Structure 1
């Protein structure tokens, strides 16, 4: 199976060459069913109809680490500085403790330009 690149974001346009997951559940399914080269994460992944925050990128990072999932590179494209730092530090700590592979490259910055056209179904 050819590796894919995964872009996890509820609003931004999906960059060319990436598969899109708009929420936590979609991301987990894609991560489990595919070989991933690049994973790029947003922190804030929206709210439900009652205004309650949905599982976010930090929740996805925790799941990733708890289940020892594998990708080659992780980039954090979120504009949320606290969320970015939490995800980054959790990933590094998981590597140090052996929960995820030590050769996964983890970057505190985006690999793609953040674009938002206002069309949430744009892929």
Structure 2
């Protein structure tokens, strides 16, 4: 993974930390991930309109991309206040990390 790239902050309410690119919806985060631009991502779960998706949808997308295409996942964080969703997202991230260590392509971007 390169040291240059975007740090993406997915959230609908919190202030964006300095040095991060804010997105409001999962499809925006996924579009940047698909372009290979993201080196780090921080995810909120509840984004104000579940019909548009949640932070967990991004976790699921990354997991699928790693498993199916050898996608190199960025460094991932969860900043959601939703305790149950946070646990589920963190479990998904742990799964992605295990999968990425077994997927040779995931180490070379």
Using structure 1 for the length normalisation, give the TM-score. 0.68
The correspondence of residues 24-63 of structure 1 with structure 2, limited to 5 A, is 24-47=26-49, 53-63=51-61
Give the corresponding residue for 2:88: 86
The higher-RCO structure (CA 8 Å, 6+ apart) is: 1
Question: Going by fraction, where is helix more abundant, 1 or 2?
Answer: 2
Given that 2:6 and 2:21 are in contact with CA atoms closer than 8 Å, whether structure 1 keeps it comes out as yes
Q: Does residue 64 of the first structure (1) align with residue 66 of the second (2)?
A: no
Unpaired runs of at least 5, structure 2 = 102-109
Given that 2:6 and 2:37 are in contact with CA atoms closer than 8 Å, whether structure 1 keeps it comes out as yes
Using structure 2 for the length normalisation, give the TM-score. 0.76
Unpaired runs of at least 5, structure 1 = 103-123
The number of aligned residues is 96
